[in-house]
Amino acid sequence: MSDKKVVLCGANSYEKKYYFNKDFSKIPESIQEELHIICVLFTEEVGGIFTIAFNEDGEMEFETTASDEDYLYDDISAGLLINKIRNTKQELLQSLALYYRVLFLHENIDDILSGED
């Protein structure tokens, strides 16, 4: 199994930059804005670099890294915030995963929804 990932979006607290993958430009603007807010608020609160990506199975993954010199970054706070995002944005995240699996992995939506994936 390879470790192919497709980054949806991310933010970097060191460079004060946000990235959104243009391959997902057909996602509604309101959802793009919500993803922007999630990423930027994460890096403002925890620091480091935060990305939201899809693994090769179409599941969403949250990744966070920090510079060795970033003494303010806290792995525990990062983990807690990721869990909070997963819980409060569950419907959004499930919809994005479904979108990715159907449009990018070309899976049959009926199979996914019936649990036959």
pLDDT in tens, the chain (117 residues): 446 899 999 999 999 999 999 999 999 999 999 999 999 999 999 999 999 999 999 999 999 999 999 888 989 999 999 999 999 999 999 999 999 999 999 998 888 788 765
Q: What's residue 1's pLDDT?
A: 42
Q: What angle do CA 92, 76, 58 make, to 5 degrees?
A: 35
pTM value is 0.90
State how far the alpha carbon of 28 is from the alpha carbons of 32, 40, 82, 84, 88, in Å.
6, 19, 23, 23, 20
**Domain spans of the chain?**
6-114
Query: Can you read off the two tokens belonging to residue 34?
Result: 């919500």
Q: What angle do CA 61, 63, 66 make, to 5 degrees?
A: 180
Q: What's residue 116's pLDDT?
A: 63
Q: Are 107 and 58 in contact (CB under 8 A)?
A: yes
The helix/strand/coil state of 19 is strand
